Amino acid sequence: MKNLLIVFLFFSTSLFAHYYDVIDIKPNDTLNVRVAPSSSSTKVGELFYDTKEIELIKCKKTTASSSWCKIKFEDENSVLEGWVSKRYITPSAIVNLDIINKKLTTFKIKRMKNIYDKKRFPVEGEIAVAFTFNDKLGTNYIIYTEKEVENNIDSQTKDISIYHFKKSKNKITLLRRVHDFIECSTNDAFGLFILKNSLSITDLNKDGIAEVTFLYSYNCFCDGGPMNLKLMMLTNGKKYVIRGLVLTTGLETTPDALKMILSLDIDKELKEAPKPFVEFMKKRWKAYKVWDLK
């Protein structure tokens, strides 16, 4: 009997690494990289004042007012790894373009400043992605955050949030926040992240107002079983959703198996949305459901 094989790529924790830029270093100075998280530790290298896209490995609070981060920086000739003061690095404005579908995105994305300004952008969790673009209604800010909490010896929780802020007439307002979380066994890996190449910024109905569309997984990864996926579209404070499953193991092509794959949960708002929105989201969903019939 024929088997149904779903080909799906995922990562055990987050889809992408976190990248940071050097800040608050004078042009004639450098940021020291050290063996251990201490200013008295041996210096192993240095970063120029304008260094960007530094990979963040982990951070450690050393005192009540000081934290250090272990980083890795690669250029054409060498690899530098060590600890730097967290005071002098900030998240890169666009962390990894792998999540953004550049072919579908019709708006110009720019680097976002003042990411840590909690009065302007009151977000929760660690900022992983932040960028801005303009449309007919003003300046848009998209911020994606993650937060992991170990509940006890048996379970852990991960939260993600996608914030859509808009600036008009010098006033910044939160149009929409998408928040999701999952609790997993400490033996499982989190599968809560935005999928590669799934985020696009479009103007499907040609009204000058952008639609931000992205697909994310929310699962506890263990052996086999289906994956839960959600496809979201945000536009001017509205949210449209498709939910469904992707099978990750080879299964016989029984009617029940095919029904599980092909059935979608399309929310009421999307069913009543403009036709270009519905067609685009269905097409994007199919792009992430790839299988071979043998």
Q: What is the number of structural domains in the chain?
A: 2
Of 69, 90, 111, the position where a domain reaches its end is 90
Residues 218, 100, single domain; the answer is: yes
Count of alpha carbons within 13 angstroms of residue 212, beta-carbon side: 30
**Neighbouring C-beta atoms of residue 156, cutoff 10 Å:** 19
Is pLDDT larger for residue 195 or for residue 240? 240
Q: Does one domain contain both 172 and 227? A: yes
How confident is the model at residue 261, as a pLDDT?
A: 55
The mean pLDDT of 94-115, rounded to a whole number, is: 76
SS3 283: helix
Write the CATH number for 83: 2.30.30.40
pLDDT average, residue stretch 106-121: 79
- List residues bridging with 45 in a β-sheet: 33
The pLDDT, as a whole number, for residue 291 is 35
User: What single letter denotes the amino acid at residue 3?
Assistant: N
DSSP for 195-252 reads PTT-BEEE-TTSSS--EEEEEEEEEEE-SS-EEEEEEEEEETTEEEEEEEEEE-S-EE
Asked if 84 and 105 sit in the same domain, the reply is: no
CA distance 232 to 211: 10
pLDDT at residue 91 tops 80? no
Q: Which residues is 147 bridged to in the sheet?
A: 159
| Nearest Cα residue to 201 out of 189, 209, 210, 192 | 210
3-state secondary structure of 285: helix
Q: What pLDDT is stored for residue 99 in this prediction?
A: 76
The percent of the chain in helix, strand and coil, each rounded to the nearest 5, is 10, 50, 35
Q: What is the pLDDT of residue 7?
A: 37
Say if residue 69 is in the same domain as residue 153. no
Residue 79 or residue 263, greater confidence: 79
Statement to judge: residues 205 and 230 lie in one domain: yes
> What gap in Å lies between CA 25 and CA 264, rounded to an integer?
51
When mean pLDDT is compared across 19-23, 114-118, 148-152, the lowest value belongs to: 114-118
- Paired tokens of 281: 């989201």
82 and 34 within one domain: yes
110 shares its domain with 32: no
| One domain for residues 9 and 83 | no
* 9 shares its domain with 69: no
Listed in sequence order, the residues at least 6 apart from 274 whose beta carbon sits closer than 8 Å to its beta carbon are 204, 205
* Cα distance between residue 15 and residue 36, in whole Å: 28
**Could you list the residue range(s) of the whole structural domain that residue 210 is in?**
3-14+95-293
Domain C-terminal end among 90, 123, 151 = 90
The predicted pLDDT at position 210 comes to 97
pLDDT value of position 259: 57
Please say if the pLDDT value at position 1 is more than 50.
Answer: no
User: Do 44 and 129 belong to one domain?
Assistant: no
Contact by Cβ (8 Å): 291, 6: yes
Are residues 27 and 70 part of one domain? yes
| Predicted pLDDT of residue 60 | 87
Structure tokens at 269: 């708002």
Among residues 70, 90, 110, the one where a domain terminates is: 90
200 and 72 inside one domain: no
**Cα separations in angstroms, 267 against 9, 230, 292:** 26, 11, 29
